[in-house]
Amino acid sequence: MPVPRVAAPRLPRLPSPRHWPGVCAAAIAITMAALPVHAQSSAADGNPALPPPYPIAARSTQAQAPADVPIDPDNLSLATAELRARAANRDLWTARRRIQAAEADRLGAQALPNPNLSLSIDDYRPRNGVGSGPLRDKRLTTQIGIDQLIERGGKRTLRVRVADELLKASQLDYDDTLRGQTLLVRAAYYDLVLAQDTIELVAQQARLYDETRDAAQRRLKAGDIAATDASRIDVDRLRAQSDLQNAIQARTDAQVALAALLAVEPDAGRLRATDGWPGSDAPPLTAGLTGDPAALDALLVRRPDVLAARTRIDAAAANRELARSLRTRDIGVAGWFKRDGTGGDATPPYYSNAIGLSVSIPLLINNRYDGEIARAEADYGDAQDQLARTLGAARNEIAQAASSLRTARLRDERYRNEILPTATRNADAYEFAFRRGALEVTDLLDARRTLRATQLEALDARSDYAKALMAWMAAVQVQTTP
C-alpha cells in the first residue's frame, strides 16, 4: 500500500535578500540604543561637543589661488612687485599646498569608522547538492551581517581638534613664508635700484672722462700738457668703462634674482625699477628700537612664526589626549540574519531563520598603548622646545634688525648731509682750477677718483638703509593676510 505524501510544514516567507541589510541595521540600532555609553561619549568623557562638519567650500583664504597679477617689466613699482609675488611666488604656492593638505587631513579626521558588510554561505555538501527551487529552499546555511566599530573616549573629537590646530599652524606658516618672501622681494628690488643708479653714475663719469680725454688731446697738440698726463687720463677713462660693464652685470644679476621671486624669468632682462629710495624718516614701529622689553614682547607674540609654534603646542597637547584615549575601549557591535537550510534533507524538510547580535570589547592585555602615549608626550615636549627656539630666534632677529637700522640710518644721513656734499664741492673746485690751468692733471684725477668712490659709497649706504628698514619691518611684522 503506497504511503501517502505528507506536505512539509512551511515557515513564513523569507524576506527578499535586498531587505536583509535593513534588518541587520535595525538590529544594530536597537543594540546601540541599549548601550549605556554613547558612541562618541563627548559629555560623559568630559570632552567638548564635536564641531559641525567642516565644509569643503569654506577653504582657507590663503589656500585659494589668487588672481594673476600681470606686470609691465619696463615700468615695475615695488607695490606691483609685491602683488605679483603674492600671486606667483613659488614658495608661497608650496605653502598653499600645505594648507590644502591640512584641510584634507581635517576632512579625514572627522570621518566615522566605516561599517563592514559580510555575507557567508556554508554547510554545502557535495554529495547531496544544494537542492532545487528558489534561494530560500536551498540546502545551505546563508548568513548576512553588518558590524560597526563604536569609538569611545572622544577620539573623533580629539582627532578633529588636532587637525584644526595643525590647519591653523599651516595657515600661520603661510603668513610667515609671505613675510619672508616679501622681504626678499623688497631686497631684490632695491638691489635693482642700486644697480640702475650705479649705472647712471658710472656712465656719467665715463662721459666726463671722454670729454676730458678729448680736451687733453687738444692741449697735448698745443703743448700745454705732457704726454704722460694725457696717458693718465686715458687710463682712468678705460677704468670708468670697465666700471660701467661691472655695473651692467650687477644689474643683470639683480634682474635675474627679482625675476625668480616673481616667476617672470623670460622677462628678466626687461625688468626696470621705477620707485626710488625710501625716506629716511623713523619707521612707524619703534618699540624694538627703544629697547622696551614690554613692547618687544608684544611684538613677539604677534609674529606668525611664534603663533605657529604656539599652535603646534596646542596640537601636540590634543594629540597627547588622543593617545591617552586609546586606553578607553572601543566597542564593536555586529548583527546578522541567518537562514539555516540544513534541514532540507529531513523528512519532512524544514528550514529556520535566526537573527543574532554580538558585542565585542578589546582586552588590553598585551598592549596598553604605552608606546603611543610616550611618543605623544615626547612630541609635546618637542613642540615646547620648538617654541623656545622660535622665540629666541625672533628676539634675536628683532634686536639685530633694530641695531642694523640704527647704524644704517646714521651712515646714510652722514653721507647725504656731510660727506657727499663736501666731496662734491672739492671736486668742483678742482675741476674749476684745472680748466683755468692752475692744477696738475694728477691732482684732478685724484679728486675725481675720490668723488666717484664717495658717490658709490653713498649709494651703498642708501641701499643698506633701505634693506635694513625692510628687514626691520619684516622682523616686527604681524600677520599679513586678511
Q: What is the pLDDT of residue 477?
A: 75
Q: What is the pLDDT of residue 10?
A: 43
Closest to 213 (Cα-Cα) out of 232, 195, 199:
232
Instruction: Decide: residue 182, CB within 10 A, 0-12 exposed, 13-18 middle, 19+ buried.
Output: buried
Q: Which range has highest mean pLDDT (247-256, 272-281, 332-341, 470-479)?
A: 247-256
How far, rounded to the nearest angstrom, does the alpha carbon of residue 419 sit from its chain's CA centroid? 45
End-to-end CA distance of the chain: 99
For 387-391, what is the mean pLDDT? 95
Share above pLDDT 90 across residues of the chain, in percent, rounded to a whole number: 53
- Residue 297: pLDDT band (50, 70, 90) is confident
Q: Is the pLDDT of residue 121 over 50?
A: yes
Neighbours of 32 (CB within 10 A): 16
Cell numbers 632695491 label which residue? 190
Q: What is the pLDDT of residue 48?
A: 41
Kindly list the domain boundaries of the chain, sorted by start residue. 25-47+63-112+151-175+268-329+364-475
Name the average pLDDT for the chain. Answer: 81
Q: What is the pLDDT of residue 36?
A: 40
Q: Between the CA of residue 286 and those of 171, 184, 296, 306, 393, what are the distances in Å?
A: 27, 22, 10, 20, 19
Q: Is the pLDDT of residue 46 over 90?
A: no
Are 250 and 244 within 8 A, CB to CB?
A: no
Q: What is the pLDDT of residue 348?
A: 55
Spatial separation of the C-alpha atoms in residues 258 and 169, rounded to whole Å: 29
Q: Of 82 and 227, which is predicted with more confidence?
A: 82
Q: Is the pLDDT of residue 56 over 50?
A: no
Pairing of strands 331-340, 352-360: antiparallel
Cell numbers 548576512 label which residue? 144
Q: Which range has highest mean pLDDT (49-63, 218-232, 412-426)?
A: 412-426
Q: What is the pLDDT of residue 52?
A: 41
Cell, residue 52: 559641525
Spatial separation of the C-alpha atoms in residues 439 and 432, rounded to whole Å: 9
Q: What CATH code is assigned to 25-47+63-112+151-175+268-329+364-475?
A: 1.20.1600.10
Q: What is the pLDDT of residue 89?
A: 94
Are 51 and 166 within 8 A, CB to CB?
A: no
User: Could you read off the pLDDT of 7-42 as tens digits, one per residue?
Assistant: 433 434 444 544 544 545 554 454 444 444 333 344
Closest to 194 (Cα-Cα) out of 123, 254, 130:
254
